[in-house]
Amino acid sequence: MLEPAIALNRFGLGARPGDTPPADPKAWLTGQFSRFQSRPQALAQVPSRSKVIAQLADYNAEARMTRQTKRQMQPASLPTGAPMDDSKKQADPLRRYLRQAIRDDYLAMNSARLASAVATDNPFAERLVHFWANHFAVSVDKLPVIGLAGLLEFEAIRPNLFGRFPDLLLAVEQHPAMLVYLDQAQSIGPNSQVGRFAAMRAGKQRGLNENLAREIMELHTLGVRTGYSQADVTEFARALTGWTVSGIARGAAARFIGGGDDGSFRFAEALHEPGPRTIMGKSYPQQGEAQARAVLLDLAASPATARHVSTKLARHFAGDDPPKPMVDRLTAAYLRSGGDLRILYRTLIDSPEAWTAGPLKFKTPWEWSVSALRAVGQTDADPMAAAAMLKQLGQPTWQPGSPAGWDDIAASWAAPEALMRRVEIAQRLASHAGSSVDARALAEKVLPGSLTPATRTAIARAESPQEGLALLLVSPEFVRR
């Protein structure tokens, strides 16, 4: 690949037929820092946080009511006029309705994400959004996360894309999607006001949840096996108690959280474990929310975090086994700048290792889908079809199944059936594009200077325009970047 093609296809999301290969590829990439739109047109209509939270609260309330009814207990505040048997019958259809409403939010957000990626003139910036969304992965396997996952990306990641890593980190960890996904919203300090109250009631043991604390250290900042201990995780979890979300907490805790019901981050003193904490040898005497915030900022400043983030960035652009000199340079830039993301991206763009001619990465299903849609110019995917396509290709959006996110190596994606799925989808996309697209001309435009004679010939010999287009989309140079 020549440098303009690398800029378009490896750094960007794939060339569109109308794209002019940039004369100065590096300037084209750095120019996107200021051109990037945090909320582009494609994202203007996504469901609001208040709508999502209200649905979730309704759902939780309905679920709680069903549980109470099942226990044959008469709740003190049962809505008037509804005999118990009736409410039991009505509960399920209402929950099904709410479940579908939440699912519709997800579909709308997924298709907006796709539309934004397909339509963008700043594909390097959009790629970085997807990179960080995967670094700070949540997964919609959990019902409360279904409607919130997209909001994490739109509200926490996009506005901080060209800021500093500590700010990005803080925005993510305080977002309701993350607080709910990693169970932080219901973590209670054993010696907090609520914890002591709960301890007095036999059989109602509720307390500390270490999930978020552990994943912040292992996945979001330091990286696994970088010197922190179980005791550090537990202490961090204690420091994080009280970090929760207004409007969606259940049961007794809800009363202590207070605040509105808008799903905003809320520090609930009544849940917070009092006292100083010691994490990785450092004491944190702060009170309240400031305590965990101070820990987060220290974690963000750690050399281990710098290396962890740098390694992942280098892997994303320079190959599955990122070259050590490049990782070293990125790490140094991170530490020198205090995690200034612009400086980090600039170092990345200036790394010769990311500009080697041969393809360095096998596209993930998401990357392949976006590049294929950009190539054929299809900007209006039906929400159901878009979600179904990504699911069929093996990468349903915001559903990696674990907080570790999707793998960023070829071995996870280049598999027999996965290839067959791409061929199937390519055929459908090509069939949808119809015979009006000339794949021969398109191939030269979307793979400028990198189209191989073999692929060129295969496309030219295809028996129909649609078949030619399908072959272009599954060609060795198109499935890689």
Partner 1 sequence: MLTRRFFLNASGAAVAALSMPRMAFARANTDRRFVFIIQRGAADGLSILGPTGDPQHESLRAGFDQDLATGAKLDSFFTLHPALAETAKMYAAKQALFVHAVASPYRDRSHFDGQNVLETGGSSAYQLKDGWLNRLLGLLPPADSKALAISDTVPMALRGNNQVSSYAPSKLPGPSDDLLQRVSALYEADPQLHGLWNEAVATRMTAGDVEAGGQNGAAIGAIAAKLLSGESGNRVAMIETNGWDTHSGQRGRLNAQLRNLDQTVSALKTGLGDDWSNTLVIVATEFGRTARPNGTAGTDHGQASVAMLLGGAVAGGKVVADWPGLSSAALYEGRDLRPTTDLDALIAGAPTQHYGLSGRAMGSLFPESRGRPLTQPLIA
CB of 397 to partner 1, least distance (A): 22
CB of 424 to partner 1, least distance (A): 6
User: Between residues 15 and 462, which has the closer beta carbon with respect to partner 1?
Assistant: 462
CB of 441 to partner 1, least distance (A): 9
CA distance 204 to 282: 34
Distance, first Cα to last Cα, the chain: 9
Give, in order, the Cα–Cα distances in Å from 67 to each of 61, 64, 251, 335: 10, 5, 12, 51
User: Between residues 51 and 428, which has the closer beta carbon with respect to partner 1?
Assistant: 428
User: Between residues 121 and 424, which has the closer beta carbon with respect to partner 1?
Assistant: 424
Length of the chain equals 481
Angle between helices 416-433 and 365-376 (to 10 degrees): 20
Q: Binding residues for partner 1, per CB under 8 A? A: 362, 410, 414-417, 419-420, 423-424, 427-428, 431-436, 438-440, 454-455, 458, 460-465, 467-468, 470-471, 474-476, 479
User: Between residues 80 and 436, which has the closer beta carbon with respect to partner 1?
Assistant: 436
Identity at 13, one-letter amino acid code: L
User: Between residues 183 and 380, which has the closer beta carbon with respect to partner 1?
Assistant: 380
CB of 432 to partner 1, least distance (A): 5
Q: Are the C-beta atoms of 363 and 481 separated by less than 8 Å?
A: yes
Identity at 132, one-letter amino acid code: W
CB of 361 to partner 1, least distance (A): 12
User: Between residues 171 and 443, which has the closer beta carbon with respect to partner 1?
Assistant: 443
* Nearest CA among 47, 155, 66 for reference residue 110: 47
CA distance 374 to 30: 21
User: Between residues 180 and 479, which has the closer beta carbon with respect to partner 1?
Assistant: 479
What are the structure tokens assigned to 127, written together? 């790629």
Q: Are the C-beta atoms of 240 and 213 separated by less than 8 Å?
A: yes
CB of 401 to partner 1, least distance (A): 23
CB of 419 to partner 1, least distance (A): 5
Distance of CA 434 to the CA centre of its chain: 33
- Alpha-helical regions (H) of 338-415: 341-349, 365-376, 383-392
